[in-house]
A and B are shown apart, each in its own frame.
Chain A
Amino acid sequence: MRTEFIRIYKSVHTWTGILSGLALFIAFYAGALTVFKEEIVRWAAPPAAIAATDLAQAHELIARTLAEHPEAARDFKLHLQPAEHLPAPMSWSIKPPDADEHDSLAGRHYLATLDAAGLPAVSETQPSQLGELIDILHRVVGLPFDNDPNRWLMGVIAVLYALALISGVIVLLPSLVKDLFALRVGKNLKRMWLDAHNVVGFISLPFHVVFALTAAVFAFHDGLYALQDHLLYDGRIKEMLRPVGGAKPQARSFDPATMLPPAELVARVQAVVPDFVPDTLQYLQATGPRPVVRVWGHDPQAISPRAPGGFAVVDPYGGRLLSTDYLPGKQDAASTTVSSFFALHFATFGGTPVRWMYFLLGLAGAWLFYSGNLLWIESRRRKQRAENAAPEQRRDFRLLGALTIGTCLGCISGISFAIVAAKGLHGRVDDLNAWLWYVYYACFFAAIGWAFNRGAARAAVDLLWLSAGATLAIPLSSLLALLWPALGLWVNLSTASLGVDVTALLGSLALAWMARETARRARIGPQDSVWSDTQMRNRDTVS
């Protein structure tokens, strides 16, 4: 391939990477954590104030609750598997008509259980926004609102990301075979960063291609659907895509007391797919003319078509299986093809081992964007000549170095502090969900300010220690809850919750190791680097 072509693609790769890299770091770091979103929410969930109801009583609970709260019949859920963040077996939300359909926390939320006398006990609740905070940061590259303009911005970033991937591979082609798996650690720092960047970028390329494509489609999908609806479906796309099956609207309303028991509905689905593990029954229009129940769950051996899993549609009164279009392992070839894109983005196949693979590849992806910025700086820094003093580096290198450090480590420490705040501020502030955002952004912007104020080299050490400390505070808060109950903290002892503690502990150790190594580089690394710290060197010399 001609050198001039390579040079053009190198420029494209550099500038698309620089423009999108920091946004993609946030998307990937928060995205890696989103894989374990439910576990994080379970870790932070306070001890349940309401006693859970035995599922054998669920039929009674539904009938009695709907008799007192008929408004719930439009859309309510029955949770089959108890968890810390689901303190009652039945829940529903009343959303304002103008609520964004992507905002799952909009409106008022209710829980229902049966009290000791067998009467429905209904309470209003405020679900924790912790999981949503991390997910929103992931979906809209660190912005606080998951709305159309921010999603479009994410779409533009995803397009730049795709361009960076294509151009990066083309630049790599001439030396691909010779340098495959090469990671040369030595005095040539540029070589080392380039090798490391290439190893992650090239070997996990299919993973990144999937994310670039799906992120772009998710960002623009409302617009794409609207266009399809207008041009192809004559305004009937919602009706055509509704996963209801063959149920015909009835000219009468139904009495929820005559619905089949939930255990019976679950049995009807498991008779078709024995490996399917149901976790939620979602009743839609339970007393209306077209009642259905979606039996949601997972089958780790098959791909699930949506982030919460897959579902079968059942008639709650007759028990007939109405649709398996969204049921893992039972989709036709066309639906499986479309579902594959969702499954590949949301890690909804293969169970826990695959979720760990996504988590690690997600973190590796975040590191890829961070290293891209480092490479840009490393490639352009002014070199020291022989015995001369280290040259002053260009202002734009110093600024990009500080911005990279501040943004990446601000995101890491901000998310860790937000997780800790979800437990530490519970019951101590009026609007905990708002406070989670305040904590995240206060930390994020303070880190950026600190990086510009102190310079990249020193701020990198400070902020890595801050990130290590913030992440260590997650398991530490659990330990404090065990040792000192008077603090008002709590610890959840499920495997999911303890898994968060252990992962955070390992993460904090990794960050502490990076802080130590970064400090070492600042002291004894090349003096003509933006990562060299003169003050630390001088201090070492004096001592």
Chain B
Amino acid sequence: MGAGLALLLGGCLLIYLASPNQRWRARPLAGMPGRTAGALLLALALYQLQHGMQGVAAVFTWSLGVMLALTLLPFLSALFHVYRGR
């Protein structure tokens, strides 16, 4: 499961960094390549999770991971931004 979750985190990070609203970098990653690479990593993550897991459990785990990572990333980068600015 570890490899699947690591791929998932990488995919979410790329998708977030390719968003014009990201605050982690001075400039966002190029939109289409960033989002495509992120989506690819997310697809690989799901494939990895389905190895050794019941299909429905893998899909649920993947969905939860995506929701949690994409919820936390904007908050973590906002916190980083605020403390860097103080």
Q: Roughly how many angstroms separate A350 CA and B70 CA in the complex, as a whole number?
A: 20
Q: Is B47 an interface residue (CB 8 A)?
A: no
Q: Is A344 an interface residue (CB 8 A)?
A: yes
Instruction: Report yes or no: B57 in contact with A350, Cβ–Cβ below 8 A.
Output: yes
Residues of B within 8 A of A183 (CB): 21, 23, 74-75, 77-78
Mask, A195-237, CB within 8 Å of B = 1, is: 0100110011011000000000000000000000000000000
Instruction: Report yes or no: B67 in contact with A361, Cβ–Cβ below 8 A.
Output: yes
B84 to chain A minimum Cβ distance, whole angstroms, is 11
A348 to chain B minimum Cβ distance, whole angstroms, is 10
Choose, from A133-141, A174-182, A318-326, A392-400, the stretch at the interface: A174-182
User: Which residues of chain B in 18-65 are interfacial with respect to chain A, using CB atoms and an 8 Å cutoff?
Assistant: 19, 21-23, 52-54, 56-57, 60-61, 63-65
User: Which residues of chain A in 305-356 are interfacial with respect to chain B, using CB atoms and an 8 Å cutoff?
Assistant: 328-329, 336, 340, 343-344, 349-351, 353-354
Residues of A within 8 A of B74 (CB): 181-183, 199
Instruction: Report yes or no: B56 in contact with A303, Cβ–Cβ below 8 A.
Output: yes
Instruction: Report yes or no: A340 in contact with B23, Cβ–Cβ below 8 A.
Output: no
Beyond A196-B75, A357-B65, A364-B71, whether A303 also contacts B60 by CB under 8 A is yes
Instruction: Report yes or no: B21 in contact with A350, Cβ–Cβ below 8 A.
Output: no
Question: Which of A206, A349, A360 has the most C-beta atoms of chain B within 10 angstroms of its own C-beta?
Answer: A349
Instruction: Report yes or no: A354 in contact with B61, Cβ–Cβ below 8 A.
Output: yes
A193 to chain B minimum Cβ distance, whole angstroms, is 12
Residues of B within 8 A of A302 (CB): 53-54, 57
Instruction: Report yes or no: A340 in contact with B67, Cβ–Cβ below 8 A.
Output: no
Instruction: Report yes or no: A181 in contact with B73, Cβ–Cβ below 8 A.
Output: yes
Instruction: Report yes or no: B82 in contact with A207, Cβ–Cβ below 8 A.
Output: no
Instruction: Report yes or no: B57 in contact with A303, Cβ–Cβ below 8 A.
Output: yes
Residues of A within 8 A of B63 (CB): 206
Pick the contact of A301: B21, B22, B54, B78 (CB < 8 A): B54
Residues of A within 8 A of B54 (CB): 301-303, 328-329, 349
Chain A interface secondary structure, helix, strand, loop or mixed? helix
Q: Roughly how many angstroms separate A317 CA and B74 CA in the complex, as a whole number?
A: 58
B72 to chain A minimum Cβ distance, whole angstroms, is 8
Instruction: Report yes or no: B56 in contact with A361, Cβ–Cβ below 8 A.
Output: no
Residues of B within 8 A of A328 (CB): 54
Q: Is A358 an interface residue (CB 8 A)?
A: yes
Instruction: Report yes or no: A301 in contact with B5, Cβ–Cβ below 8 A.
Output: no
Instruction: Report yes or no: A204 in contact with B1, Cβ–Cβ below 8 A.
Output: no
Q: Is A106 an interface residue (CB 8 A)?
A: no
Q: Is B68 an interface residue (CB 8 A)?
A: yes
Which residue of chain B is the closest to A275 with respect to CB atoms? B52
User: Which residues of chain A in 129-158 are interfacial with respect to chain B, using CB atoms and an 8 Å cutoff?
Assistant: none
Instruction: Report yes or no: B21 in contact with A204, Cβ–Cβ below 8 A.
Output: no
Q: Is A185 an interface residue (CB 8 A)?
A: yes
Residues of A within 8 A of B75 (CB): 183, 196, 199
Instruction: Report yes or no: B5 in contact with A353, Cβ–Cβ below 8 A.
Output: yes
Q: How many residues of A contact B (CB 8 A)?
A: 32
Residues of A within 8 A of B56 (CB): 303, 336, 340
Q: Roughly how many angstroms separate A354 CA and B64 CA in the complex, as a whole number?
A: 8
Instruction: Report yes or no: A361 in contact with B53, Cβ–Cβ below 8 A.
Output: no
Residues of A within 8 A of B53 (CB): 301-302, 350
Residues of A within 8 A of B71 (CB): 199-200, 203-204, 361, 364
Instruction: Report yes or no: B73 in contact with A207, Cβ–Cβ below 8 A.
Output: no
Q: Roughly how many angstroms separate A358 CA and B65 CA in the complex, as a whole number?
A: 10
Instruction: Report yes or no: B16 in contact with A181, Cβ–Cβ below 8 A.
Output: yes
A86 to chain B minimum Cβ distance, whole angstroms, is 27
Instruction: Report yes or no: A185 in contact with B82, Cβ–Cβ below 8 A.
Output: yes
Residues of B within 8 A of A357 (CB): 61, 64-65, 68
Which residue of chain A is the closest to B78 with respect to CB atoms? A183
Which residue of chain A is the closest to B1 with respect to CB atoms? A353
Q: Roughly how many angstroms separate A444 CA and B78 CA in the complex, as a whole number?
A: 32
Instruction: Report yes or no: B70 in contact with A181, Cβ–Cβ below 8 A.
Output: yes
User: Which residues of chain A in 38-77 are interfacial with respect to chain B, using CB atoms and an 8 Å cutoff?
Assistant: none
Instruction: Report yes or no: A358 in contact with B57, Cβ–Cβ below 8 A.
Output: no
Which residue of chain A is the closest to B63 with respect to CB atoms? A206
Which residue of chain A is the closest to B23 with respect to CB atoms? A183
Which residue of chain B is the closest to A364 with respect to CB atoms? B71
B1 to chain A minimum Cβ distance, whole angstroms, is 6
Q: Roughly how many angstroms separate A180 CA and B68 CA in the complex, as a whole number?
A: 15
Instruction: Report yes or no: A301 in contact with B57, Cβ–Cβ below 8 A.
Output: yes
Instruction: Report yes or no: A349 in contact with B67, Cβ–Cβ below 8 A.
Output: no
Residues of B within 8 A of A204 (CB): 67-68, 71
Q: Roughly how many angstroms separate A303 CA and B73 CA in the complex, as a whole number?
A: 28
Instruction: Report yes or no: A180 in contact with B61, Cβ–Cβ below 8 A.
Output: no
Instruction: Report yes or no: A185 in contact with B78, Cβ–Cβ below 8 A.
Output: yes
Which residue of chain B is the closest to A517 with respect to CB atoms? B82
Residues of B within 8 A of A354 (CB): 60-61, 64
Q: Roughly how many angstroms separate A351 CA and B73 CA in the complex, as a whole number?
A: 24
Which residue of chain A is the closest to B18 with respect to CB atoms? A181
Q: Roughly how many angstroms separate A344 CA and B61 CA in the complex, as a whole number?
A: 10
Instruction: Report yes or no: A207 in contact with B67, Cβ–Cβ below 8 A.
Output: yes
Residues of A within 8 A of B78 (CB): 183, 185
Residues of A within 8 A of B65 (CB): 357
A342 to chain B minimum Cβ distance, whole angstroms, is 12
Residues of A within 8 A of B81 (CB): 185
A275 to chain B minimum Cβ distance, whole angstroms, is 9
Top 9 A-B pairs ranked by shortest CB distance?
A182-B21, A302-B54, A349-B57, A183-B74, A181-B21, A350-B61, A183-B78, A357-B64, A181-B19
Task: Given contacts A196-B75, A204-B68, A357-B61, list 14 more A-B pairs with CB under 8 A.
Answer: A183-B74, A185-B82, A203-B67, A204-B67, A206-B63, A206-B67, A301-B54, A302-B54, A336-B56, A350-B60, A353-B61, A357-B68, A360-B68, A360-B72
Complex A-B: 11 CB contacts under 8 Å? A180-B19, A183-B74, A183-B77, A301-B53, A301-B57, A329-B54, A350-B57, A350-B60, A360-B68, A361-B64, A361-B68
